[in-house]
Amino acid sequence: MSGQCPLCSQLLEVKNPEVNELIVCSSCNQRLIVKEIKNKKIIFTEAPNIEEDWGE
């Protein structure tokens, strides 16, 4: 499934996308979140700020 980066418009493919999934745009490196999946299209939004514990 695919959707466009809201910042640079790059078409991004995601295998088995999940709502709230984190991805990084392959073109502009922006961190994005899958906001919703509508009519087999992914709507992305900018990811929230990094929280305090990402486990490494």
Partner 1 sequence: MRKYKIGLFYNIIRGDEKLLIEAANKLNVSLDLINIDNLILKKDVFEAKFDIALLRSVSSTKEKYVAFFLESLGIKTVNSFKIIQNCDDKFFTSILLEKKGVPQPKFGLAFSLGEAKKLIEKLEGYPVVIKPTTGSWGRMLAKVNDDDALEAIFEHKQYLSSPFQKALYIQKFIEKGGRDIRAFVFDGEVICAIYRNSHHWITNTARGGVASKCEINPKLKEICFKASEAIGHGILAMDVFETKEGYLINEVNHTMEFKNSEKPTGVSISSAIINYCLKKIK
Question: What residues pair up with 43 in beta bridges, in sequence order?
Answer: 36
d(CA 20, CA 11): 18
Q: Which is nearer to partner 1, 9 or 22 (CB)?
A: 22
Q: Which two tokens stand for residue 35?
A: 């906001």
Q: Which is nearer to partner 1, 9 or 12 (CB)?
A: 12
d(CA 42, CA 38): 6
53 near partner 1 (CB under 8 A): yes
Using CB under 8 A as the binding rule, the residues of this chain from 6 to 45 that contact partner 1 are 16, 18-22, 33-34
Which residues sit at the interface with partner 1, rule CB under 8 A? 16, 18-22, 33-34, 47-48, 50-56
